[in-house]
Structure 1
Amino acid sequence: MICPYIINISVFLGGILSWGLMWPLIDTKRGDWYPADLKPGSLHGLQGYKVFIATALILGDGLYNFKVLSRTLAALFFQLRGRDATGALPIADRSSPKTSRISYDEQRRTQLFLIDQIPTWFAVAGYVAIAAISTATVPRIFPELKWYYILVIYIFAPALAFSNAYGCGLTDWSLAYSYGTLAIFAIGAWAGASHGGVLAGLAACGVMMNIVSTASDLSQDFKTGYLTLSSPRSMFVSQLIGTAMGCIISPCVFWLFFKAFKDLGTPGCQYPAPYATVFRNMAILGVEGFSSLP
Structure 2
Amino acid sequence: MLSDDDDDDDSSQLELEHKWRDEIFLKDRIPSWFAASGYVVLAAISIVTIPFIFPPLKWYLVLCTYILAPALAFCNSYGTGLTDWSPVSTYGKIGLFVIAALVGPNGGVIAGIASSAVMMSIVATAADLMQDFKTGYLTLSSARSMFVSQLIGTAMGCVIAPLTFWLFWTAFDIGSPDGPYKAPYAVIFREMAILGIEGFSELPKHCLALCCGFFVAALLINLLRDVTPKKFSQYIPIPMAMAVPFYVGAYFAVDMFVGTVILFVWERLNRKDAEDYAGAVASGLICGDGIWTIPSAILSILRINPPICMYFGPSASS
Task: Please give the TM-score of this superposition, normalised by the length of structure 2.
Answer: 0.59
Structure-2 separation of matches of 1:292 and 1:184: 17
What amino acid is the match of 2:44? Answer: A
Partner of 2:134: 223
Q: Could you list the per-position Cα deviations for residues 132-191 of structure 1 after superposition, in whole angstroms to 9, with x for gaps in the alignment? A: 000000111111111011000011111000010011011100111000001110000000
- Aligned CA-pair RMSD: 1.6
1:183 aligns with 2:95: yes
SS at match of 2:147: helix
| Change in CA separation of 1:100 and 1:291 when aligned onto 2, cut-off 3 Å | farther
2:189 is aligned with 1:279: yes
Query: How many residues matched?
Result: 194
2:144 match: 233
The whole-number CA distance in structure 1 between the counterparts of 2:145 and 2:183 is 35
Distance in 1 (alpha carbons) for counterparts of 2:180 and 2:123 = 30
**Match of residue 5 from structure 1:** none
Matched residue, 2:41: 129
In the TM superposition, what is the alpha-carbon distance from 1:290 to its structure 2 partner?
Answer: 6.4
Alignment match, 1:23 = none
Larger relative contact order, structure 1 or 2 (CA cutoff 8 Å, min sep 6): 1
Distance, in Å, in 2 between the alignment partners of 1:240 and 1:206 is: 19
- 1:120 aligned residue: 32
The answer to whether 1:265 aligns with 2:172 is no
Please tell me the residue identity of whatever aligns with 1:240. L
Q: Does 1:205 align with 2:116?
A: yes
* Inter-partner Cα distance in structure 1 for 2:163 and 2:73: 28
Structure with greater Cα Rg? 2
Question: Which residue number corresponds to residue 247 of structure 1?
Answer: 158
What letter matches 2:180 in structure 1? Answer: Q
Q: Is 2:20 the counterpart of 1:108?
A: yes
- Give the distance between the partners of 1:268 and 1:173, measured in 2 at CA: 31
Could you tell me how far apart the structure 2 residues matched to 1:222 and 1:291 are?
46
Q: What is the TM-score normalised by the length of structure 1?
A: 0.64
Q: Hey, which bits of structure 1, 4+ residues long, moved more than 4 A?
A: 99-102, 290-294
Cα deviation for residue 104 of structure 1 reads: 1.8
Deviation at 1:101, TM superposition (A): 7.6
Flag structure 1 segments of 5+ consecutive residues without an equivalent. Answer: 1-98
Task: Describe how 1:78-117 pairs up with structure 2 within 5 A.
Answer: 102-117=14-29
Q: Which runs of 5+ in 2 are unaligned?
A: 1-10, 209-318
